Amino acid sequence: MYDISNYFEARSVEDAIRLLQEHEDAEIISGGTDVLVKLRSGKGAGETLVSIHEIPELHGVDRLLDGTLVLGPATCFTDLTNDPIIQECIPYLGEAVDTVGGPQIRNMGTIGGNVCNGATSADSAATMQTLNAIVVLQGPDGTREVPVTEFYTGPGRTVREHAEVCIAFLIRPEDYQGFTGCYMKYGKRASMEIATLGCCVRVKLSEDKKTIEEARIGYGVAAPTPIRCRNTEALLAGKSVDDPQIYDLIGEHVLEEVNPRSSWRASKEFRMQLISELAKRALKEAIARGKDGGKDA
Amino acid sequence: MLNIVHMTVNGKEVELAVDPRESLVETLREKLNLTSVKRGCGVGECGACTVLIDGVAIDACLYLTMWAEGKHILTTEGLKSPTGELTPIQQAFIDEAAVQCGFCTPGLIMTGVELVESGRKYTREELRKLISGHLCRCTGYENILNAIEKVVGVDS
């Protein structure tokens, strides 16, 4: 038995918002792979759960006419990885969430929970940062859009208000078209592991594939929240893809933009080394994929 | 506060009064006596409680029974054919000596069944990843992989 005092199954987003308003101690549960684990450890004991597990409109991936991608927050990691739109447009996000836990967890855990629990170690976090994903929140007063780069306020904390439900993530065409990318995760094991560090590098190459037009660098666990390294991104723009110095450049400059801590999982010093090394490797892979015709798969 | 949940378990429709605090592993073991579903870590790390819900493998310890309304649940008890024969995956586990203490076995069998149902064939590397949600502390996984490979491996 889970230690919860009350449980409500929301039938719609409006229903969920109403339930959250009525219950101050309520927490949203979607896939359950974080919330239930936390409850099992005794944290949040006695709280109320509002389940959005059975709201169909929160599932699935869609592409609007203008090219904007709409990710349903209740889409589980497996479905995201296997989705044809994701595979075509942003395969590196599918790869990133394919590193979460193990297969059974990926069949349950959702992209919405991964972002909304505010964890810096979330495997989707680095990639979502580089995609400039927009978090769409619906609350009692209507909907609002928050860029994921402004979504986090601290470890496990976000701008989402108590009675707000994440109803979609939007990814604009200018944030994915022409880009290739790569997510690299470091953990002690290849699976069933929380990221010690996660790094996503994405590049948009020039028509002749010789120059980096735009680069984007995102990290998880390199700071209390997921972050971007915009100064280093700016330094990479315009550089030749065959210039060997770009790897030293990214490896050195990202270190000025991060703020990792020591934890039982890894020391700050080790994380600094990972931050530098993973950026180099991810950049190399992103460029290789870009030269390969812009298709990641 | 009990709620009525309707689900199909191993092909049989059941109607149960369920406490909303119940996890599916508790309901299956304690109300339906399906004790092949092992309660291991309770936090989705060991895979011993793996069952198929509408054909998809999940950890029953991290699944609220309330969510099972209208769903089809399959455990190893449901694999037995009317004539008592084993499925190819179960037979392969025996033939390859993939069972030692047996605690992880039902969960791994269910993942094996999910892979068989996919209709695909898998490389050994793919299979290593696909069984990574199961912990086995006895075998070192080699015989388990041999068994699953025998049924859904690329050369099978």
Tell me, what's the ipTM? 0.97
By the 8 A CB rule, do A209 and A290 touch? yes
What whole-number distance in Å separates Cα of residue A43 and Cα of residue A162?
A: 18
pLDDT-derived band at A292, boundaries 50, 70, 90: confident
Res B126 pLDDT > 50: yes
**Nearest-neighbour CA in chain A from B83: distance (Å):** 31
Q: Which domains does chain B have, with CATH numbers?
A: 3-78 (3.10.20.30), 88-152 (1.10.150.120)
By the 8 A CB rule, do A35 and A112 touch? no
B137: contact with A, CB 8 A cutoff: no
Range in A59-63, A142-146, A191-195 with the lowest mean pLDDT: A191-195
- State the pairing for strand pair B12-18/A69-71: unpaired
Write down the pTM of the prediction.
0.96
A56: contact with B, CB 8 A cutoff: no
| B80-91 pLDDT, tens digit each | 999 999 999 999
| B94-118 pLDDT, tens digit each | 999 999 999 999 999 999 999 999 9
Res A263 pLDDT > 90: yes
* Residues in Cβ contact with A293 at an 8 Å cutoff, skipping those fewer than 6 apart: none
| B31-78 pLDDT, tens digit each | 999 999 999 999 999 999 999 999 999 999 999 999 999 999 999 999
Residue A68: strand, helix, or coil: coil
Please state, as a whole number, how many other Cβ atoms lie within 10 Å of the Cβ of residue A264. 5
**Nearest-neighbour CA in chain A from B141: distance (Å):** 15
pLDDT value of position A123: 98
pLDDT value of position B146: 98
Res A84 pLDDT > 50: yes
A37: contact with B, CB 8 A cutoff: yes
pLDDT value of position B156: 87
CA angle B48, B52, B57 (to 5 degrees): 65
pLDDT-derived band at A69, boundaries 50, 70, 90: very high
pLDDT value of position A295: 52
By the 8 A CB rule, do A49 and A29 touch? yes
C-alpha torsion sign, points B67, B68, B74, B75: positive
Q: Which domains does chain A have, with CATH numbers?
A: 4-51 (3.30.43.10), 56-174 (3.30.465.10), 179-291 (3.30.390.50)
B6: contact with A, CB 8 A cutoff: no
- Annotate B19-80 with DSSP letters as a single string: -TT-BHHHIIIIIS--TTS---SSSSSS-TTEEEETTEEEEGGGSBGGGGTT-EEE-GGGG-
What whole-number distance in Å separates Cα of residue B10 and Cα of residue A203?
A: 50
pLDDT-derived band at A294, boundaries 50, 70, 90: low
Share of chain A above pLDDT 90, in %: 97
How large is the average pLDDT for residues A130-140?
98
Amino acid at A232: T
B132: contact with A, CB 8 A cutoff: yes
pLDDT value of position B1: 75
Which residues 57-76 in chain B show a CB within 8 A of chain A?
A: 57-59, 62-64, 66-67, 69
How large is the average pLDDT for residues A81-98?
98
What whole-number distance in Å separates Cα of residue A271 and Cα of residue A265?
A: 10
Q: Do A103 and B133 touch (CB under 8 A)?
A: yes
What whole-number distance in Å separates Cα of residue A153 and Cα of residue A165?
A: 17
Identify all chain B residues contacting A100, using CB atoms and an 8 Å cutoff.
Answer: none
The residue of chain B with its CA nearest to that of A106 is B58
pLDDT-derived band at A296, boundaries 50, 70, 90: very low
Nearest alpha carbon to residue A204 among A184, A185, A178 = A178
